[in-house]
Amino acid sequence: MACVNPNEIMTPIADEFAPARVVASETMYEGLVWDVRRDSVDLGHEVVQRDLVDHPGAVAVIALDEEDRLVLIQQYRHPTRMREWEVPAGLLDVPDEPALLAAQRELAEEADLHADSWAVLLDYATSPGFTNETIRIFLARGIRPVPEEERHERTGEERDMPVRWVSLDEARDAVLAGRLHNPHTVIAILAAHAMRERGWRDLRPADEPWALRQALRDAASRAGSA
Tens of pLDDT along 144-200? 999 887 777 767 666 778 999 999 999 999 999 999 999 999 999 999 999 999 999
Query: DSSP alpha helices (H): ranges in 73-182?
Result: 99-111, 168-176
Give the integer Cα–Cα distance in Å for 174 and 126: 21
Q: What is the DSSP letter of 64?
A: B
- pTM for the model: 0.89
**30 labelled catalytic:** no
With a CB cutoff of 8 Å and minimum separation 6, the contacts of 196 are 68, 168
Indicate left, alpha or beta for 81 from its phi (over 0: left) and psi (-120 to 50: alpha): left
Other residues' Cβ atoms within 10 Å of the Cβ of residue 72: 26
Asked whether the beta carbons of 20 and 43 are under 8 A apart, the reply is: yes
Give the integer Cα–Cα distance in Å for 104 and 216: 23
- Give the model's pLDDT for residue 38: 96
Question: What residue ranges of the chain are covered by domains with CATH 3.90.79.10?
Answer: 62-205
- Give the model's pLDDT for residue 167: 98
- Give the model's pLDDT for residue 145: 94
* Fold classified for 62-205: Nucleoside Triphosphate Pyrophosphohydrolase (3.90.79)
The active-site residue out of 157, 158, 170, 208 is 158
- Give the model's pLDDT for residue 25: 93
- Give the model's pLDDT for residue 87: 98
Give the integer Cα–Cα distance in Å for 187 and 180: 11
- Give the model's pLDDT for residue 148: 80
Which residues of the chain fall below pLDDT 50?
none
